[in-house]
Amino acid sequence: MIFLLLTILLNTYIFVLLKIFQKLKVDALQTIVVNYWTCVVTGSIFEGGLSISSESVHQPWFIWAVMLGGGFITVFNLMAYCTKTDGITATTVTNKLSLVIPVIVSLFGYHEKSSFLKIAGIILSFPAVYMTVRQPKEEGRNGNMSWLIVLFFLSGFLDTFVKYAERNYLTTPASQASFTSHLFAVAGTIGTLIVLVKLVTGKSKLAWKNLWLGICLGVPNYFSIYVFIRMLHSDFLPSSASIPANNIGTVVASTAAAILLFREKVTPMRIAGLILSVVSILLIAFS
């Protein structure tokens, strides 16, 4: 239970910080790259030594860390693109609804037990997410549904592959922590190369605020992934229940933070979505 709550709390903190980034007009890519390397440093401190070593290439989970690291930065940039072309609402709904992929894999691939209440909770999660994040249609968007479909599958498969790696290779807290650090190191390396290209071509400039804000993001971001893996490895809930509970809980907490901290408009639809989200979580958690 504690890992589920910590994951929701950390994800909500990251959401609030990203909203602040928008107001400060930071370079998102530079900030995210600094965030990734901060994650590596945080992991090294947390593990009590350098978390990245050449010996890691012989670990069975290393190839998964490489693929997922590339996937993480790809999904982030795709989310930024879809937000620009399709709007915040469409992008958020697509990303959150992707939870159906790891849930289906858990139920049918890992033969996790299901029940009427769990299935009902999972089904309710879809309208709950949509109603919670739904906003008035944004003007001036020139969207492309095909990229939203790509985002849907990439986000879902990322969660699925994290679950696969956790289930088969990350059997100890030490391996889980090391895996997390390597995942971020790969993402940081790819992001650094992109930033260097943009700097050389004159498409971007360095700014100190991107550095310290990236550090503020990196520490909780590391633990959000580490705790997420610990949550999947715990016996409190099977992944077919914990992943939806985490996604819906994050939506509820983030929406509440947006309303309280950023004075976002509270509509009857959003209130109904929050209530439905709570019902969905209860059905999944106590099925």
Distance CA 85, CA 127 (A): 23
The answer to whether residue 33 sits within a structural domain is yes
Cβ atoms of 36 and 187 closer than 8 Å: yes
Give 60's contacts (C-beta < 8 A, 6+ positions apart): 168, 169
pLDDT at residue 139 greater than cutoff 60: no
Task: Write down the pLDDT at residue 135.
Answer: 59
- Average pLDDT score over the chain: 82
Task: Write down the pLDDT at residue 285.
Answer: 67
The answer to whether residue 52 sits within a structural domain is no
Cα 57 to the chain's mean position, in Å? 25
Among residues of the chain, what percentage have pLDDT more than 90?
A: 20
The answer to whether residue 279 sits within a structural domain is yes
Task: Write down the pLDDT at residue 143.
Answer: 53
Cβ atoms of 219 and 41 closer than 8 Å: no
Task: Write down the pLDDT at residue 22.
Answer: 72
> Could you tell me how many helices (H) and strands (E) the chain has, helices first?
11, 0
Q: Taking the model in full, what pTM does it have?
A: 0.77
pLDDT (average), residues 8-29? 83
The answer to whether residue 63 sits within a structural domain is yes
Query: Which of 233, 115, 95, 225 has the alpha carbon at shortest distance from 164?
Result: 233
The answer to whether residue 6 sits within a structural domain is yes
Provide the Cα torsion 125, 130, 133, 139; round to 10°.
170
pLDDT in tens, 47-95: 777 767 777 888 999 999 999 999 988 887 787 677 667 765 567 777 7
Q: Higher model confidence: residue 83 or residue 162? A: 162
pLDDT at residue 242 greater than cutoff 70: yes
pLDDT in tens, 205-231: 888 899 999 999 899 988 988 898 888
The answer to whether residue 114 sits within a structural domain is yes
pLDDT at residue 119 greater than cutoff 50: yes
Cβ atoms of 154 and 276 closer than 8 Å: no
User: How many structural domains are present in the chain?
Assistant: 1
At 118, is the pLDDT very low, low, confident or very high (cuts 50, 70, 90)?
confident
**What range does the domain containing 92 cover?**
2-47+57-285
- Two tokens at 194? 């992109």
Q: Report the amino acid identity of residue 209.
A: K
Give 210's contacts (C-beta < 8 A, 6+ positions apart): 26, 27, 30, 31, 34
Q: Which residue has the tokens 């679950």?
A: 163
